[in-house]
Structure 1
Amino acid sequence: MTTSTGDAVRPYTGDALTALLPPDLRLLGLGEPTHGVEAFPELRNELFRHLVEHEGYRSIAIESDCLAALAADAYVTDGIGTLDEVMAHGFSHGAGAYPANRELLRWMRTHNEQRPPHERLRFYGFDGPLEISGATSPHAALTGLYDYLAAHLDLPWSRATLDELLGSDGHWTHPAVMLDPNRSVGRTPEARELRLVADDLRVLLTAHAPQLTAATSADDWWRADLYSRTVTGLLRYHAGLADTTPDRISALLGQRGVMMADNLDAIVRREARRGPTLVFAHNSHLQRYESSMPFGGLRVRWWSAGAMIATRLGDRYAFVATTFGARGADVPGPDTLEGVLSTVPHARAVVDPQMFAAALDRTLTPRVPADYTYSGLDPATLDRIDAIVFVKEI
């Protein structure tokens, strides 16, 4: 590594990272290159503590079910439930089993115990109620929205009508649906009617926001709005599951990205008076450039939540990509970004991507990792990354 390239690299600290970021951030995206490796959520926890203590952050959002996360937020803000219960029911994608997530909630709860409500840290999930195997039933989100509105407005539908249209949850969540669009109920007459109902309920929620907020609270209205965003997104996603065209998977990934971006937008607006938010997810969900991955022998492409939210927030959004060098026998080649960074002496490093790219004296090739669950950084995208955190070995 040349001296000029080395000038773009510093040992990792919270201060070294934030020094590379634009001022007046509202949302800071910290990506990870793979799931299930504790080094990355542990790094996230360390960074979040720094941001809370030195940069005025008061909230964190992670790649997990937005509805399930309500239980985790209730625990960290008000001590409702137990930590074991929240780890079992407050996460999706198996994230409740990660020790770093348990430590995050424990630390947030301890931090909040002696603070007034307006200063307490909040926890969010920003993903839809989705798993790799499919999507949940829209039942919980739709009835949550309906019950909130029905307590204060005269609605032209009954709960019995909604239950009849929804049918059994098992029809929505059948495991064969993800691979067989013909098993999906997302485009049945009942599902189409539910999409109209959900849209009308969302309009009522918005139109009567002053009345509803005064009768309940801003937090209650925000939760109802979360139900509204979720049910409309879920019904749209289930309709996508019934799609039989070749672009089905790309379209589903794009719809998931829209749900994520809309949730992040709502979180930023809710937190506007309290401070910026840290969001943690896979790099592919937070990057500004087009995302892609192999699926069924093809390469599917979509625009991520990060790319979408960047168009809304501009320079108030920053993306920090995380990557690593050696993982057992999987060692990056010398002409990859990770290979060059592996020559630095630091176990963890902060990299200025623009300075690093300007100092390179050769063209780097994208890393093709041995483990397909890991995504290397494309050197051609360095101009669209605000900072890189490099972990030398995991």
Structure 2
Amino acid sequence: MTASVEDAAQAVDAAAVVGLLPTRPRLLALGEPTHGEDVLLEVRNDLFRQLVEQEHYRTITIESDCMRGLVVDDYVTSGTGTLDAVMERGFSHPEIGLGASAANRDLVRWMRAYNDGRPESERLRFAGFDGPLEITGAESPREALTALHGYLTARVDAALLPCTAQTLDRLLGADDRWTDPAAMTDPAQSVGRSAEARHLRVLADELVALLAGQAPHLITASSSDDWERAHMYGRTATGLLRYHFWMADTSPSRMAQLLRVRASMMAANLLAVAERGPALVFAHNAHLQREKSSMRMSGLPVEWWSAGAIVSARLGEDYAFMATALGTIRHHGVDVPPPDTVEGLLYALPQDRYVVDIRRLAAVLGEATPTARVSPWFGYSPLDPAHMAGVDGLVFVKDAPPR
């Protein structure tokens, strides 16, 4: 019997996904080819529930601000706040509607219900792994810096601290100096290379060094959550100050440096999540891929390594990447895919959702190379056939319902 594309595809469930992997990874990354389509988040939610119930996963981390994610984690673990407030304050990237998403709301509600009455060791955890960054710019480092300083102030001798809280406040100044959207396109509007910002970078580095140097005492004097959060404050403070530094840069490499810093911040947060293990990671395919990322900006090529590439290099088989491909997004002009593309081959199958064994699919295709799909809408990134060897499996969703 001749093998067909359908032989490489099966229903989307945790068993099918795990069955494609040589070992159970600490980080199972599920990508999405576009933002803002709840059908993709519904697939994620279903998969996470099954991973929790069948594979003992306890953490989910998504492409959202790591600082805001603490609001969600406090709610799902201990019921702090209200669901409405958490959805409003616990998610970043309002331009893609993370907090307004019905699927994200369902996820948070389900995690809270699951945790209710369970011992701490069995509770589900939520984390954002992006930095406090938006398309329009970056947040002030105030929250992360002052949180780290406050953690250390409460636990170590004041003489060891490199500065007072008042000094930090004076150097930080008004937050709108840091968050000015004009700085994204005009380096001259950024405060990232001011004397105050340079001083803050030194102080942030000293605070992080103090955190590391006092580890024997701090680990015993802190809860595990407080210890982990202190490290996140340190990563975020130093990362934000580095990001603002490059926002003030005027060289041709400015954008590549900003993309590099963001990816490094994401990767550091993912590696911290991996210490809890195992966890489901959810973000755009471009942030999770193993291949080098590239784009053209102002007519010039820009390249950088994504968070997934960095983490994969560090973790090896403890990192797995399932890319998601989508057939149609008709409300954005993305119609039925051409039959000679990967999406077109899968679109011809009868069911709406599949997990695809990428190796079996490659065997079915043989020497035939699928055509790369071209999207008429900038917000959707089709699967690049050249990247198929770098994924551990493929999730295919036939149609994004109209809004």
1:331 aligns with 2:331: no
TM-superposed CA distance for 1:63, in Å, is 0.4
Paired position in structure 2 for 1:286: 288
Query: Which residue of the other structure, out of 337, 341, 349, is the alignment partner of 1:344?
Result: 349
Paired position in structure 2 for 1:114: 117
1:355 aligns with 2:360: yes
* Correspondence 1:344-383 to 2 at 5 A: 344-361=349-366, 362-383=368-389
Matched residue type, 1:112: N
CA 1:294–1:334 in 2, change beyond 3 Å: closer, same or farther? farther
Aligned 8 A contact 2:27 2:320 in 1: yes
In structure 1, the residue corresponding to 2:320 is in which secondary structure?
strand
TM-superposed CA distance for 1:56, in Å, is 0.8
Provide the C-alpha distance between the structure 1 equivalents of 2:381 and 2:396, rounded to a whole number of angstroms: 13
Q: Which runs of 5+ in 1 are unaligned?
A: none
TM-score (norm 2): 0.94
Q: 323-332 or 191-200, which moves further after superposition?
A: 323-332
Paired position in structure 1 for 2:145: 142
Aligned 8 A contact 2:13 2:50 in 1: no
Q: 31-40 or 294-303, which moves further after superposition?
A: 294-303
Provide the C-alpha distance between the structure 2 equivalents of 1:307 and 1:254, rounded to a whole number of angstroms: 12
Paired position in structure 1 for 2:315: 313
Aligned 8 A contact 2:342 2:385 in 1: yes
1:3 aligns with 2:8: no
1:167 aligns with 2:169: no
In structure 2, the residue corresponding to 1:176 is in which secondary structure?
helix
1:302 aligns with 2:304: yes
May I ask how many residue pairs the two structures share in their alignment?
389
Matched residue type, 2:240: L
In structure 1, the residue corresponding to 2:303 is in which secondary structure?
strand
* Correspondence 1:169-188 to 2 at 5 A: 169-188=175-194
Provide the C-alpha distance between the structure 2 equivalents of 1:86 and 1:304, rounded to a whole number of angstroms: 29
In structure 2, the residue corresponding to 1:7 is in which secondary structure?
helix
Paired position in structure 2 for 1:217: 223
Provide the C-alpha distance between the structure 1 equivalents of 2:11 and 2:226, rounded to a whole number of angstroms: 44
Matched residue type, 1:212: L
Aligned 8 A contact 2:3 2:364 in 1: no
Deviations 1:301-326 (A, max 9, x none): 22111000001110011000001112
TM-superposed CA distance for 1:214, in Å, is 1.6
TM-superposed CA distance for 1:190, in Å, is 1.2
Query: Which residue of the other structure, out of 201, 225, 235, is the alignment partner of 1:229?
Result: 235
Deviations 1:236-288 (A, max 9, x none): 0000111111221122111100000000111111x14xxx1001000000111
Paired position in structure 2 for 1:157: 163
Matched residue type, 1:344: L
1:24 aligns with 2:27: no
TM-superposed CA distance for 1:34, in Å, is 0.4
Aligned Cα RMSD in Å?
1.3
Aligned 8 A contact 1:22 1:318 in 2: no
